[in-house]
């Protein structure tokens, strides 16, 4: 039997036996389903509403049955009952983001013998107006890319596309070689970020091995929408080898080491020289026919307190500390006028003779010294040192002073060129201080108990 039937739910199409003794029989029915060809339009189940515009939503089933009087409809949005809506159309007014969601409309339909609830679902999406600008390429952002020959390479092309209702973005790589454009096989573009207003799409080009030919190509990232297209070119550049990096790193480390060694050498040069003298044991005083290792000159009256804050006077430094350290500890022979000068004689002649017999001249400079008669001793020593290569002069800046206008020109010049050691008050008193280390550096080299 061929035809169309209407079957209530739960109706069993298999006949039951008339009685336990009767044989069971079945009714075989064949239904042929044919599509209706007189439908004028298809009911929509998805609806796009433009933000800022005026819109409404129809219950799809009732919209299709426009010739039937609309029953009362119950509406839900995202599972929430819309109690005020009872017709087959919801008038939304101006569209906002919160209008997006899943809408469900229920209504009751019946015939002569039964009734049932009809439910339809409308998926509503709020959208913006279609963009009026071309895509914006986000990657690559540089014109050149350093690569290693023989290694695989992946080039990424990322672009931002403005919203379009019929969104069909085009994103691909091209290579340009000898003015010919060849499309590179790229992976399918995938969305990496999506918002109401735009969508970011990314694709990649894979090179199994970078060759010299690839270095001569221009790779072009191409993005297109219905408005137009945008491109970004990139050139491959060979990366300098690892060997070069090692050489560069080694050179930098060597230079850094040399600078550090130079700085240490500068800081500890005096100590290094003294250590060398200790093990060399060369006595430069042998055979020079000189009697004293050093002649000490200082202001011999009105001793002042050091302006650097020391409680020691020049006289204390010359008569007490110098003999205690240089003579008693390091074995030098010093000449002090108050201690070693015999009474009588001519002062100027005696000073010149003593300086000639000395290998070093030590001059303790202060305002009293440069403004007093003792400066004659420095002037005489400078004149003698010009003709005696074995005589060396050492200046000690006991406290700050200004050079007087009356100072002889030769002495002024000597103050600028001769080695100067600064006395730093009580910090310089200990025999292991920097002051005494510098003094030993400028003193003659000789074998004595101080170097063993």
Instruction: State the catalytic residues.
Output: 377
Nearest to 61 by CA among 10, 122, 127, 149: 122
Cβ neighbours of residue 397 closer than 8 Å, sequence gap 6 or more: 365, 420, 421, 422, 423
Residue 37 tokens, joined: 């060809």
CA atoms within a 13 Å half-sphere pointing along the CA-CB vector of 447: 6
Neighbours of 218 (CB within 10 A): 14
Tokens standing for residue 287: 């055979």
Distance (Å, rounded) from C-alpha 203 to C-alpha 190?
Answer: 7
Strand 54-58 with 2-3, pairing: unpaired
Could you please report the per-residue DSSP string of 132-183? -S--EEEE---SEEEE-TTS-EEEEEEEEEE--SS---EEEEEEEETTEEEE
Which residue has 């970078």 as its token pair?
Answer: 210
- For every residue of 256-271, DSSP letters joined together read HHHHHHHHHHHHTHHH
| Nearest one of 434, 363, 364 to 399, comparing CA atoms | 364
Say how far apart CA 448 and CA 114 lie, in whole Å. 132
Maximum Cα–Cα distance for the chain, whole Å?
A: 171
Within 10 angstroms of residue 146's Cβ, the number of other Cβ atoms is 10
3-state helix, strand, coil in the chain (%, to 5): 25, 30, 45
Q: How far is CA 317 from CA 296, 314, 326, 363, in A?
A: 10, 5, 12, 11
């Amino acid at each position: 039997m061929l035809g169309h039937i209407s079957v209530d739910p739960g109706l069993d199409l298999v006949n039951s036996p008339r009685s336990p003794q009767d044989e069971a029989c079945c009714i075989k029915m064949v239904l042929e389903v044919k599509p209706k060809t007189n439908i004028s339009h298809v009911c929509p189940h998805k609806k796009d509403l433009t933000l800022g515009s005026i819109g409404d939503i129809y219950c799809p089933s009732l919209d299709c049955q426009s010739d039937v009087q609309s029953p009362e409809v119950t509406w839900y949005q995202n599972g929430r009952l819309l109690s005020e809506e009872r017709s087959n159309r919801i008038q939304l007014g101006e569209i906002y983001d919160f209008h997006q969601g899943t809408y469900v409309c229920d209504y009751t339909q019946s015939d002569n013998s039964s009734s049932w609830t009809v439910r339809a679902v409308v998926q509503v999406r709020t959208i913006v107006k279609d963009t009026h600008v071309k895509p914006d390429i986000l990657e690559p952002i540089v014109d050149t890319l350093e690569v290693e020959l023989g290694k695989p390479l992946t080039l990424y092309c990322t672009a931002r596309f403005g919203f379009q209702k019929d969104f069909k973005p085009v994103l691909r790589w091209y290579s340009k070689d000898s003015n010919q454009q060849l499309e590179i096989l790229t992976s399918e573009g995938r969305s990496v970020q999506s918002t109401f207003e735009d969508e970011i799409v990314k694709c990649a080009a894979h090179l199994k091995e970078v060759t010299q030919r690839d270095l001569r190509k221009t790779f072009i990232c191409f993005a297109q929408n219905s408005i137009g297209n945008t491109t970004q070119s990139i050139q491959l550049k060979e990366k300098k080898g690892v060997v070069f990096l090692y050489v560069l790193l080694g050179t930098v480390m060597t230079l850094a080491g040399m600078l550090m060694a130079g700085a240490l050498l500068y800081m500890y040069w005096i100590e290094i020289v003294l250590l060398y003298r200790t093990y060399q044991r060369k006595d430069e005083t042998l055979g020079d026919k000189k009697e004293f290792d050093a002649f000490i000159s200082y202001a011999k009256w009105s001793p002042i307190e050091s302006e650097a804050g020391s409680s020691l006077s020049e006289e204390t430094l010359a008569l007490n500390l110098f003999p205690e350290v240089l003579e008693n500890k390091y074995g030098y022979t010093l000449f002090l006028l108050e201690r070693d000068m015999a009474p009588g004689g001519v002062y100027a002649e005696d000073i010149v003779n003593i300086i000639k017999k000395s290998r070093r001249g030590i001059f303790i400079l202060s305002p009293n010294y440069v403004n007093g008669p003792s400066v004659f001793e420095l002037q005489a020593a400078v004149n003698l040192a010009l003709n005696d290569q074995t005589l060396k002069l050492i200046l000690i800046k006991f406290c700050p002073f200004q050079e007087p206008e009356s100072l002889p020109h030769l002495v002024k010049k000597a103050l600028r060129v001769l080695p100067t050691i600064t006395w730093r008050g009580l910090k310089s008193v200990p025999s292991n201080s920097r002051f005494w280390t510098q003094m030993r550096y400028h003193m003659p080299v000789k074998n004595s108990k101080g170097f063993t």
